Amino acid sequence: MGGTTYSSSDWSSYRSTVAGKSTDEIFTKKRLHESLDPKNILLRESRDSEVNPITVPVIAALDVTGSMGVLAQQIATKGLGMIFEELLKRKPVLGPQFAFMGVGDINYDRAPLQVSQFESDTASLVPQLENLFVEGGGGGNSFESYNLPWYFALTRMVHDAYLKRGQRGYLFTIGDEEVPADLSESQLVKVFGQGSAIKNDILLTAISTQWNVFHIMVEQGSHMRYARDKVIKSWTDLLGQRAIPLSDINSLSEVIVSTIEMNEGKDQDAVIKSWDGDTQMVVAKALKEFNPILPKTNFSSGVVRF
């Protein structure tokens, strides 16, 4: 996929149809759509093409439990087009190809993971986005299954940026709860139909050869409002400065774009000052401690199978 190019008019047209709509009005699916079901997906590919000869994959894995369903609404009404437009204008990476995921709770939800294809334009992504099942579930365990996107990216994704150029893609998980427990075999069988138990630290070490992994902590989420210190400590202990606090969900896209810019070497002050008003303040707060430490990369071919 991804053999098309971004059109601002396509995005504007779609955005006008969802303006003012609630999450429930935009996302009407009542069950996991077969096209987004990991059990039906052998591989998701981000590939170079004649139209897009140099590509870099970007993934936003959205918490769709409880109050976090607003993440999906934000992406549908603003974020998707903003990410494309700003990445294409600012050029921290060439040829961005975008995919989204829906993340739930593997212990409680019917759809703990949903995965789109990679696309180079919003027109191709919007029908997939509208198939997203915003389950609104979750449980009482203080975390959602943010490690399922890591496992999927490790075992069922390939991208030419890495295979051809040794360049990492970008994977952002986004939510308001703490680091999830390690994945068990039974949980992986439930979601993928197969798999062996794996610890978070081993999974992250493996995935970091091909992906820049970040977690955005949504401070407006209900869990983080009363357990902010626990959430921040949990993610900082695991990811260090790649755990990013987000004080205003309306600036989610700008924080994602800014993170990519800084990770690609752009000056922090220049990135912050490139935004206006409240957005500048949100980006400054989110990235004030950011100083990426990249692991060494080794070339390998294809995906890892467990």
Any domain includes 40: yes
Q: Is 258 part of any domain? A: no
Task: Give a yes or no: residue 279 inside a domain.
Answer: no
Question: Which domain does 87 fall in, by range?
Answer: 8-250
pLDDT digits (tens, 9 = 90+) for 10-50: 999 999 999 989 999 999 999 999 999 999 999 999 999 99
Whether 117 is in a domain gets the answer yes
* Spans of the chain below 50 pLDDT: 295-306
For residue 213, what pLDDT is reported?
A: 97
Output the CA–CA distances (angstroms, integers) from residue 62 to 5, 123, 150, 253, 299, in the order listed: 24, 20, 13, 12, 29
Residues constituting the chain: 306
pLDDT at 304: 42
255 is a domain residue: no
Return the pLDDT at 271.
97
Contacts 24+ apart (CB under 8 A), 232-241: 234/178, 234/179, 235/178, 235/179, 237/179, 238/179, 238/200, 238/201, 238/204, 239/204, 239/213, 239/214, 239/215, 240/293, 241/289, 241/290, 241/291, 241/292, 241/293
- Residue 287 domain-assigned (yes or no): no
As for how many domains the chain has, the answer is 1
Sign, Cα dihedral of 118, 124, 125, 129? negative
Contact 1, 45 (CB under 8 A): yes
**265 part of a folded domain:** no
Separation CA 97–CA 46 (nearest Å):
7
- CATH number, domain of 124, equals 3.40.50.410
Q: Is residue 285 part of a domain?
A: no
